[in-house]
A and B are shown apart, each in its own frame.
Chain A
Amino acid sequence: MAADAAQSRNTGWRNAIILILIWEIVGRLDLIAGGALPSLSEILLRLWVDRADYPQHVIATLYASGLGFIIGNAIGILAGIIFALSPTTLRLFRGVNIAIFALPPIAIAPILVLTLSGMAPRVVLATLGVYFVTMTATVIGLSQTDKRTSDLIQAYGGTSWTTLRLVQLRGALPTILSAFRIAAPNAVLGAILAEFGGGGRWGLGTYLLGSLGRGEPDRLWGIGLTATAIAGLSYLGFALLSNRFLGATRAVTLNAATPDDATPTKSVGHNFLLTLGTIALPLTLWWAYIKLSGVPDLISKTPWGVIDYLFLGKTAAVAQAKLLQALAETLPITFVGMALGLLFAFLLAICSRLFPQAIKAFMPVALVTQTMPLVALTPLLVLMLGRGTSLTLWVTISVTFFPAFVTLAQGISLVPRGTQELPRAYGAGPWTEMRMVTIPASLPYLFAATRLTVPRALLGVMIAEWLATGKGLGNLLNQSRGYLDFGMIWSVAAVSVLVSIILYQLVVIAERRVLRRFGMQTAE
């Protein structure tokens, strides 16, 4: 076994080195897009030349993302505990939680810059990237504790508080720590996005903006790889921490208890009120945010302000027409992009089972695509793909596939060995086994991946529209800034969140129906 592991590590290294060599040759010879893709050595040399520029920018980015990480996790864990203790609260906040999950950051960044000042937009955007991940992990972690241990506490007269303290929180720790891994890069990316737009003096996003005008891809890649390194190191740090901490605390035996049915039957009226609250709460919070920030009505719009702008004001007809046209341009390609992103993630997940070594070599590349600010890659992308549908689709795939891939790969790896071995025993090859067992068995994870993909697909399309194609919602958002059309800026943000929520809900409904038919449980 040890020899096997060593050999597989060697193949991994070999593949990575081959990849870097190809990159080096292609970059040095300016083979791609007339030199818009620099080689790794050129990027590293440039990083060395620019080394004096980096410390203050990196410190600013670390400060904003670190603060956002702490605040987001604090709120996330606290909210997770409250939600786990009170399912009613969880249902009431469902609308808020989905909205936060579905917010397209590029639509929200301008709004934050409008309403907040200084470091605040960066910290808030980082916080928003962290909250949902940690909150969800806390709820899941707390509700999945081993029933046997909590029974023990109760048998000795422990209250629900002691159960929470001694059993549930401890049991949830692995899930929460693994959420930190995902949350940390999110915080970094959120901070950089807000730095890019928000006009501060320091931060990698600001540095990127100033560097863009030079037309020097090695500098842009240097900044992108620095962002990747920060995100990657924070991921690695928390991965190591969780291994260190938790090596010995995993349950040895399987918990056979089925989770309680989470939806107790209540009266129709009660359910109706809850649903109403779920919808009203995000709108109330939006309204309260504007009132509390004290920003004048002219530039900040309440929910009512947006309705007034879109339906009642004197320019309502024009605004509606613009918005509908943008939606007509954005939505169809969002669906196609989402489907392709999922398909790519699915193929990748299957390959990771069938050809694990090839996928391992691909993972660093995948990670770079997740943390490299796309604005730095725009010249490369438009030179290679033009400014049409194919660029939009590729950008959307690159924005969507990674979380979906991780979820699907997890699903595929959790398929019990016994079921997999059955078709093998009957002489089936790996493909037949995949088709008959693994793929159907990981259906819950396919749905979970689809839920993750929906809002990101919209984000990907909007980014492509903003940077390259000049169509749809992404372009409308930026043009509205040029017209000082505050009503439209808020409307685009609200509509893009709403579209994400609706698509998300549609997936959830389909998920419940299908999984119920198959007698399966929802995966998170």
Chain B
Amino acid sequence: MTLSLNRRHFLSTAAAAAAASMVPKGAFAATPLTMQAAWINDAEFAGYFLAMDEGYYTSEGLDLTYLSGGPDVIPESTIIAGRADLALTTPDTTIKAIADQGAPFKIIGAQYQKNPIGIVSLVDSGINSPADLVRKTLAVPPVNVISVEAMLKLNGIEAGAVNIVPYAYDPTPLIKGEIDASLDFTTNVPYTISQQGAEATSFLLYDFGYTTYNDTVVVTEDVLKNKRAELVAWLRASRKGWNENFIDPAVWPPKWADTHFKGTGRTIDNEIFFNGAQQPLMETPSGIFSMSEDDIEANLSALGEVGIVGSRDMFDTTLLEEI
């Protein structure tokens, strides 16, 4: 998608032109919908790329514009500013924004049933549970410090017992032993470390009490009211994309070598590893994006431990029922 570079105005025109060439003549006009992803293009968003390429959105009557994310992009702010209709967010930030600042958000689905963030370390360092982190140096991206503090608290470890330093996206200090562990997507970094000739181990924060979703699908109350049908259509097409993608996680990433994954700086093998690793974190018997009552409760109670007080009405599961 070279499109996301350009101004939105140009973008929508270009996307419309692209869509127009695909839609058979006589089909009714597609409704525009814009989604804000959480990061640059990688396998984390494979289902959406597939659904775009295979025309799942178009056949649902949607003209989807996809915006990639980055370190300074706060997905929630993009939807407040009206530059996107829906955003993939982290539930802790979204719920905190609703609770503290009265932000008008609703969570209408969850891409990851289990949050893929975890503690990654080299096998030799013997860090297999939160308790092993005591007196160790842990690199954490500043935006995720909140999650790590929650996990430590849930496991009865004082925040001061672990030396937390910033993580600047590069695993080299971990491989060279300058830090003992880092917080990252466990679907991603272990592969990189293996490429460097070291062996990594990891555990999910989820498995140690921080039972949250990730990449929650968030909309504003306005959009929910005015574009309900389109949102359901988006959920349906995206779920179809993810299901197709998970039939064999190794099939799709190579097909995007010259499109979505071109020049991202990452390798296709890395994306295949990522895609396979994320499958068990996303799949659930009731279908991709599901939010069961038990899981919502688990999210709320885990976040409650760090003073983020959410409530059931911040989640709207009725759209999922309409898929």
Contacts and interface: CB of A to CB of B under 8 A. Distances in A.
- Same assembly: yes
A18 interface: no
What range describes how many residues of B lie at the interface? 35 or more
Interface in B92-106: 93-94, 96-97, 100-101, 103
A210 B266 contact: yes
A207 B146 contact: no
A115 B40 CA distance: 19
Interface string A461-484: 000001111100001001101111
Contacts of A479: 142-143, 145-146
B280 interface: no
**Secondary structure type dominating chain A contacts:** helix
Contact of B93 (A109, A219, A382, A482): A482
B70 A209 contact: yes
B192 A201 contact: no
Given A113-B73, A215-B171, A299 B80 contact: yes
A178 interface: no
What range describes how many residues of A lie at the interface? 35 or more
A383 B178 contact: yes
A435 interface: no
Interface string A301-345: 000000000000001000000000000000000000000000000
Contacts of A208: 265
Contact of B5 (A110, A119, A375): A119
B70 A379 contact: no
B7 A478 contact: no
Contacts of A207: 263-265
A192 interface: no
A387 B165 contact: yes
Contacts of A296: 80-81
Given A475-B166, A482-B93, A486-B77, A118 B70 contact: no
A401 interface: no
Interface string A72-114: 0000000000000000000000000000000000000110011
B143 A478 contact: yes
A484 B267 CA distance: 32
A15 interface: no
Interface in B177-195: 178, 188-189, 192-193, 195
B7 A467 contact: no
Contacts of B93: 482-484
Contact of B101 (A196, A199, A203, A298): A298
Given A117-B7, A201-B5, A379-B173, A468 B77 contact: no
B168 interface: yes
B7 A118 contact: yes
Nearest to A295: B81
Nearest to A111: B72
A213 B73 contact: no
Interface stretch (A53-61, A263-271, A404-412, A422-430): A53-61
Interface in A220-249: 220
B143 A196 contact: no
| Most chain B beta-carbon contacts within 10 A, residue among A52, A299, A482 | A482
A213 B267 CA distance: 11
Contacts of B264: 207, 210
Interface in B1-36: 1-8, 11
Interface string A194-215: 0011111111001111111111
B68 interface: yes
A225 to B, nearest CB: 15
A477 B140 CA distance: 15
Contacts of B96: 483-484
Interface in B53-83: 67-74, 76-78, 80-81, 83
A379 B71 contact: no
Given A202-B2, A479-B145, A483-B96, A114 B266 contact: no
B5 A298 contact: no
B74 A120 contact: no
B68 A201 contact: yes
A375 B80 contact: no
B272 interface: no
Closest 4 CB pairs of A and B: A210-B265, A197-B72, A199-B70, A482-B143
Given A114-B72, A200-B68, A470-B165, 20 more contacts: A53-B265, A56-B2, A117-B78, A117-B81, A199-B69, A201-B2, A206-B40, A207-B263, A213-B188, A215-B196, A315-B100, A378-B173, A382-B178, A383-B178, A387-B165, A468-B166, A475-B142, A478-B142, A482-B146, A483-B146
Interface of A: 33-34, 36, 52-54, 56-57, 60, 109-110, 113-115, 117-120, 196-203, 206-215, 217, 219-220, 295-296, 298-299, 315, 375, 378-379, 382-383, 387, 466-470, 475, 478-479, 481-484, 486
16 contacts: A109-B72, A113-B74, A114-B72, A114-B81, A117-B83, A118-B6, A119-B7, A197-B71, A199-B4, A210-B265, A211-B265, A213-B188, A214-B192, A298-B101, A383-B178, A484-B103
